[in-house]
């Protein structure tokens, strides 16, 4: 019995969902890193956040964001360039995890746990890495360091989370699944560099690009999502919470052009896959979707 396209998409969607074992591993990693960082800095109320907390994270599960809000006693960092706090957190994490496992990024420190990714993108339910984000509370918002500019930027994870919840509900609870699927496409190593950077931009665009409600068919939803992303990737996309710098800030002209090409190609491939089903070529259609997305899209 061959899988229908709808069944295949449902299976794909559930494979990209966070399961309990993965959440347990993420909590364990959070606990381990928090217990250590609390010995190094005055931290209060650290929490798992970003796409992980919103259920818009894709697989393999990596770069889970953890905010580490610091107490008043650490406020001297806030007056210094953003690179200072990032360097100090990096040095602290290197002491525990070693130079090779720790990488400074623009707004966080990445800690890699050295987990193996299998051919089918499975990781034995383990989290590959986390992003440690030093932060200060600022009213209802947070301020986090931006190493690229040396400044601190404002953010509010609660507002981002609420927007995602609202969009999901307005889309018959299919919005987050569609976002995870396109983020999975974006992460496919076949592209080399990610076409859309940061991948949060896909979620931010989805707030506007998935509209009019769920049409009932995954293949058509994905096809038109890719087409709309291709058409609008060159626009300026503001922080949905109106606090931080534009989410599209690192999409320069060359990146936009490349992303546009790849998104357009993806929309065309999706169109072709839909056409194959109309011709009764279900198996070929499944293969086309697998080629488009990657190994987590099921063939059976
Ligand atoms: N320019 C910005 N202004 C304000 N907040 C931002 C900005 N960029 C990111 N954020 C917040 O920081 C969080 C973590 O950023 P990150 O780039 O890891 O995105 P993400 O949604 O977690 O996606 P990914 O699945 O790629 O990790 C985002 O989810 C968002 O809440
Ligand atoms: Mg993240």
Nearest CA to ligand 1 atom 31: 157
Binding site membership of 57 for ligand 1 (Cβ less than 6 Å) = yes
pLDDT in tens, 29-79: 999 999 999 999 999 999 999 999 999 999 999 999 999 999 999 999 999
Measured between its terminal Cα atoms, the distance across the chain in Å is 8
Q: How many angstroms does the Cα of residue 278 sit away from the middle of ligand 1? A: 39
Question: In a 10 Å sphere around its CB, with 0-12 CB exposed, 13-18 middle and 19+ buried, how is residue 222 labelled?
Answer: buried
Let me know if residue 228 belongs to a domain.
Answer: yes
Segment 190-204 shows an average pLDDT of 97
Residue-level length of the chain: 300
pLDDT at 244 over 80: yes
103 lies in the same domain as 179 = no
Segment 145-172 shows an average pLDDT of 97
- Quote the pLDDT of residue 292: 98
CATH code: domain of residue 24 = 3.30.460.90
8 Å CB contact between 153 and 245: yes
Let me know if residue 194 belongs to a domain.
Answer: yes
73 lies in the same domain as 127 = yes
Q: On the CB side of 68, how many CA atoms lie within 13 Å of its CA? A: 27
- For a pLDDT cut of 90, what percent of the chain falls above it? 99
Domain span at residue 220 reads 159-293
Element (H, E) at 36: helix 20-37
Nearest CA to ligand 1 atom 28: 50
Can you tell me the distance from the alpha carbon of 296 to that of 56, in angstroms, rounded to the nearest whole number? 16
8 Å CB contact between 205 and 232: yes
Of the candidates 108, 114, 155, 153, the one whose C-alpha atom is nearest the C-alpha of residue 132 is 108
Can you tell me the distance from the alpha carbon of 110 to that of 105, in angstroms, rounded to the nearest whole number? 7
pLDDT at 202 over 90: yes
Tell me: cis bond preceding 198? Omega within 30 of 0 counts: yes
138 lies in the same domain as 193 = no
Binding site membership of 143 for ligand 1 (Cβ less than 6 Å) = no
Mean pLDDT for the chain overall: 97
Binding site membership of 46 for ligand 1 (Cβ less than 6 Å) = no
Let me know if residue 5 belongs to a domain.
Answer: no
Let me know if residue 300 belongs to a domain.
Answer: no
Q: Which of 155, 190, 205 is the last residue of a domain?
A: 155
- Structural domains counted in the chain: 2
Segment 224-247 shows an average pLDDT of 98
Let me know if residue 6 belongs to a domain.
Answer: no
8 Å CB contact between 143 and 135: yes
Confidence of residue 166 (pLDDT cuts 50, 70, 90): very high
- Quote the pLDDT of residue 263: 98
Q: Which of 133, 155, 177 is the last residue of a domain?
A: 155
pLDDT at 213 over 90: yes
Q: Which of 94, 125, 155 is the last residue of a domain?
A: 155
pLDDT at 1 over 80: no
- For a pLDDT cut of 70, what percent of the chain falls above it? 100
- Quote the pLDDT of residue 211: 86
Bridge partners for 133 per DSSP: 67
Q: How many angstroms does the Cα of residue 132 sit away from the middle of ligand 1? A: 12
73 lies in the same domain as 137 = yes
């Amino acid at each position: 019995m061959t899988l229908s396209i709808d069944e295949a998409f449902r299976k794909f969607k559930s494979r990209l969902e966070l399961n309990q074992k993965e959440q347990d591993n993420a909590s364990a990693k959070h606990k381990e890193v928090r217990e250590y960082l609390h010995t190094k800095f005055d931290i209060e109320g650290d929490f798992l956040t970003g796409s992980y907390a919103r259920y818009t994270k894709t697989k393999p599960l990596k770069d889970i964001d953890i905010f580490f809000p610091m107490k008043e006693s650490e406020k001297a960092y806030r007056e210094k360039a953003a690179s200072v706090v990032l360097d100090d957190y990096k040095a602290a994490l290197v002491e525990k995890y070693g130079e090779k496992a720790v990488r400074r990024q623009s707004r966080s420190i990445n800690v890699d746990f050295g987990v193996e990714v299998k051919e089918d993108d499975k990781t034995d339910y383990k989290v590959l890495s986390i992003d440690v984000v030093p932060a200060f509370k600022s009213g209802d918002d947070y301020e986090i360091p931006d190493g690229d500019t040396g400044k601190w930027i404002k953010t509010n994870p609660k507002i981002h989370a609420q927007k995602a919840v609202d969009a999901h509900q307005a889309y018959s609870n299919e919005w987050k699944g569609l976002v995870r699927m396109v983020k999975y496409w974006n992460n496919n190593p076949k592209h080399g560099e990610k076409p859309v950077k940061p991948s949060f931009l896909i979620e931010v665009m989805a707030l506007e690009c998935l509209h009019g409600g769920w049409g009932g068919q995954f293949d058509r939803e994905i096809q038109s999502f890719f087409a709309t992303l291709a058409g609008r990737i060159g626009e300026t996309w503001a922080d949905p919470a109106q606090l931080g710098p534009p989410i599209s800030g690192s999409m320069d002209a060359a990146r936009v052009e490349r992303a546009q090409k790849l998104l357009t190609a993806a929309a065309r491939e999706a169109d072709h896959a839909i056409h194959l089903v109309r011709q009764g070529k279900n198996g070929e259609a499944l293969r086309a979707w697998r080629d488009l997305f990657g190994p987590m899209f099921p063939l059976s």
